[in-house]
Amino acid sequence: MRYEKETGNTDKSIHLAEMQQEQRKNLQLSSLPASMLTWIEENCHDIISVIDEDGLFIYISKSVERILGYQPSQLIGKPWYKVISSEDIDYIKESCNPDPLMKLFYQLNVINSDGKSIWSSCTLTKLKDSKTGRTFYISIVADIRDKKEVEEIMIQSEKMSVAGQLAAGIAHEIRNPLTSLKGFLQLLQAGVRKEEYYNIMIEEIEKMETITSELLFISKPLTETKQLESIESMIHDVIVLLRPQAKMKSIHIEYNGSGKEKIYCDRSQIKQVLINLIKNAIEAMDQGGTIRIFTSSSDSHIDVSIIDEGPGIPQDIIHKLGEPFFTTKQSGTGLGLMITKQILERHQAFLEMKANEQIGSTFRIIFPVPA
């Protein structure tokens, strides 16, 4: 979506400018010195806008011209969704809620005057005027294209590192069905033909296909497509990928959930989160054991808990987990948990980490319930 620039309409431009000035008075901005307002607008690196109850821009800072190529007057009176990518509009509408103290954070694509997408972060806050009773939405939009590029490089680097670490276990897991296939082919070659042989061979091929498909997923860039996804389905995919590595360390992965929980997310990104956390649990358990994955839900949130039987997290370092390049593993990069937290922030979710009372640690992901 894009706006066409308004030309040849002087009266309308004057009216819009007057409207903008009046809205400033309504929002008590006029109590500040004009020189101060001018300095703020000329030096602000982010786009600050005010949206009314009808979803129309009633104020927008001059920085919109530098970032998106619009004059403020071109957007005053226009609906907010005209400058948001179509993929993000439904996501924003569904996440808004009647909470009078609502404050939301998004990462989304905004559309500039040339119709091109610009990756941005947006903080959206709801405010109510106590005098008039009117509700306003204040948004701060920052251009994060450079940050996004760096994040994608780090994520891809970490994904390839994970793929390399899983390679030995996956090669071992594939070798077993290959051995079975070789044996059945030799029987068929010798003239021993039974229908059940074909069925077993197909099953073994499907096992290899499933594992290799999940391994190929790691090498692909993360997408940015959000829709309702089954948590159970994503967990099963990740278990298929990580089970070979777990088996090499005598670790069993259990999953318990209703199978009904769904979240509004990008499937590839949340699978990456699950890979990072379950892989960390496997690496923490040197003596074998069981990793338990539970899902549960309430009216406000959906939880995914990953419980391991490792040594636990020392209290003196738990606050450092997730910091860039901080790691307790000799061969670790320290990027896995940082990337996990970044992805969860994009989904309005967050991560809790704690040491269990007797043994191991629990990593709990808390997702909002889809609207």
DSSP string, 83-106: GB-HHHHHHHHHH--S-TT-EEEE
Look at residue 25 and tell me whether its pLDDT is greater than 50: no
Asked whether the predicted pLDDT for residue 361 surpasses 70, the reply is yes
| DSSP codes joined into one string, 23-76 | HHHHTTGGGS-HHHHHHHHHH-SSEEEEE-TTSBEEEE-THHHHHH---HHHHT
At 352, which CATH number?
A: 3.30.565.10
**Amino acid symbol at 281:** A
Residue 2 domain-assigned (yes or no): no
Q: pLDDT band at 44, cuts 50/70/90?
A: confident
pLDDT computed for residue 320 by the predictor? 53
In a domain, 1, yes or no: no
pTM above 0.85, yes or no: no
Amino acid at position 30, single letter: S
Say if residue 257 is in the same domain as residue 342: yes
**Higher-pLDDT residue of 345, 25:** 345
Q: What is the mean pLDDT of residues 321-326?
A: 49
Query: To 5 degrees, how large is the angle CA 362–CA 171–CA 273?
Result: 30
Q: Do 161 and 280 fall into the same domain?
A: yes
Asked whether residue 105 falls in the same domain as residue 161, the answer is no
In this prediction, residue 30 carries a pLDDT of 44
Domain extent, residue 39, equals: 10-143
Residues 125 and 87 occupy one common structural domain: yes
| Of 14 and 163, more confident | 163
Residue 202 belongs to some domain of the structure: yes
Q: Which residues of 106-136 are buried (b: 16+ CB within 10 A; e: fewer)?
A: bbbbbbbbeeebbbbbbebebbeeeeeeeeb
Percent of the chain with pLDDT over 90: 15
Residue 4 lies in a domain: no
Q: Are strands 57-60 and 103-111 parallel, antiparallel or unpaired?
A: unpaired
Rg (CA), the chain: 26
Write 187-190 long-range contacts (CB < 8 A, 24+): none
Of 115, 143, 171, which one is at a domain's C-terminal end? 143
User: Span 289-302, mean pLDDT?
Assistant: 91
Most confident of 55-59, 107-111, 210-214: 55-59
> 199 and 70 in one domain?
no
Residue 93, domain CATH: 3.30.450.20
Average pLDDT over residues 130-153: 82
47 part of a folded domain: yes
The answer to whether position 5 is within a domain reads no
- Which of 119, 23, 121 lies closest to 75, judged by CA? 23
Geometric angle at alpha carbon 39, from 37 and 44, rounded to 5°: 95
Any domain includes 286: yes
Are 34 and 108 within one domain? yes
Q: How are beta strands 289-297 and 262-266 bridged, if at all?
A: unpaired
Q: How many CB atoms lie within 10 A of CB 30?
A: 13
Q: Which of 143, 175, 210 is the last residue of a domain?
A: 143
170 and 124 inside one domain: no
Q: Domains in the chain: how many in total?
A: 2
Query: If residue 123 lies in a helix (H) or strand (E), which one and from where to where?
Result: strand 117-128
Cβ neighbours of residue 108 closer than 8 Å, sequence gap 6 or more: 84, 85, 88, 91, 92, 119, 120, 122
End-to-end CA distance of the chain: 25
In this structure, are residues 31 and 17 in contact, taking their beta carbons and an 8 Å threshold? no
CA angle 271, 153, 278 (to 5 degrees): 30
Most confident of 100-109, 270-279, 323-332: 270-279
Per-residue pLDDT tens over the stretch 153-175: 777 777 777 777 677 777 777 87
Residue predicted with more confidence, 320 or 275: 275
Give the model confidence (pLDDT) of 196-253 as tens digits.
Answer: 778 878 888 877 877 777 777 776 766 778 889 999 999 999 998 888 889 889 999 9
Among the three residues 98, 114, 143, which one is the final residue of a domain in this structure?
143
- Same-domain status, 263 and 341: yes
Q: What's residue 327's pLDDT?
A: 53
| Mean pLDDT computed over 323-332 | 49
| Residue 35: pLDDT over 90 | no
Q: Are residues 226 and 363 in the same domain?
A: yes
Q: What single letter denotes the amino acid at residue 50?
A: V
* Cβ atoms of 289 and 326 closer than 8 Å: no
Cβ proximity of 310 and 354 under 8 Å: no
Question: 170 and 77 in one domain?
Answer: no
In this structure, the answer to whether residues 113 and 187 fall within a common structural domain is no
Query: In terms of domains, do 204 and 255 share one?
Result: yes
